[in-house]
Amino acid sequence: MLKGIPSILSPELLKVLCEMGHSDRIVIADGNFPAESMGKNAMVIRCDGHGVPELLDAILQVFPLDTYVEKPVSLMEVMKGDNAKTPIWDTYKEIISKHDKRGADTVGTIERFAFYEEAKKAYAIIATSEKAIYANVMLQKGVI
């Protein structure tokens, strides 16, 4: 056990977050995301039983967001014609605002298939049990 480290961050996840360098990206994926097929060239970390919001909050306690890009947080855009509602995005923006003074201004969206292509280049993908749709979030690491 370590003091000041959220207990939801497993030793494996902490190791990955520490290994990542400036501009490396990590995906926190919802339960529908094809983590294993997208993560063939990345590390896939299983966080079954957890949702994206609690992991996002814990990660941002130890993970600096990139200040050299305008939108270091990327969400998967809702497909045209899909009437999906994304209230979880508001939750993400609240969490981000607790940890980064830029708040919601750090958040952008990426078209669904472009998001998949970017996810393939991520350093790691965290597979969660999140049930909300369009709940995937990609973080780009900054410097301390």
Instruction: Tell me the domain boundaries of the chain.
Output: 23-140
Task: Indicate the pLDDT class of residue 2, thresholds 50, 70 and 90.
Answer: confident
- Intra-chain end-to-end CA distance of the chain, in Å: 23
Query: Is 66 an annotated catalytic residue?
Result: yes
**Per-residue pLDDT tens over the stretch 17-71:** 999 999 999 999 999 999 999 988 999 999 999 999 999 999 999 999 999 999 9
Tell me, which fold does domain 23-140 have in CATH?
A: RbsD-like fold (3.40.1650)
Query: 22, 68, 82, 90: which one is catalytic?
Result: 22
**Beta pairing partners, 139:** 26, 73
Helix (H) or strand (E) holding 110: strand 107-110
Q: Strand, coil or helix: what is 43?
A: strand
Cβ atoms of residues 74 and 115 within 8 Å? yes
Query: Is 123 an annotated catalytic residue?
Result: no
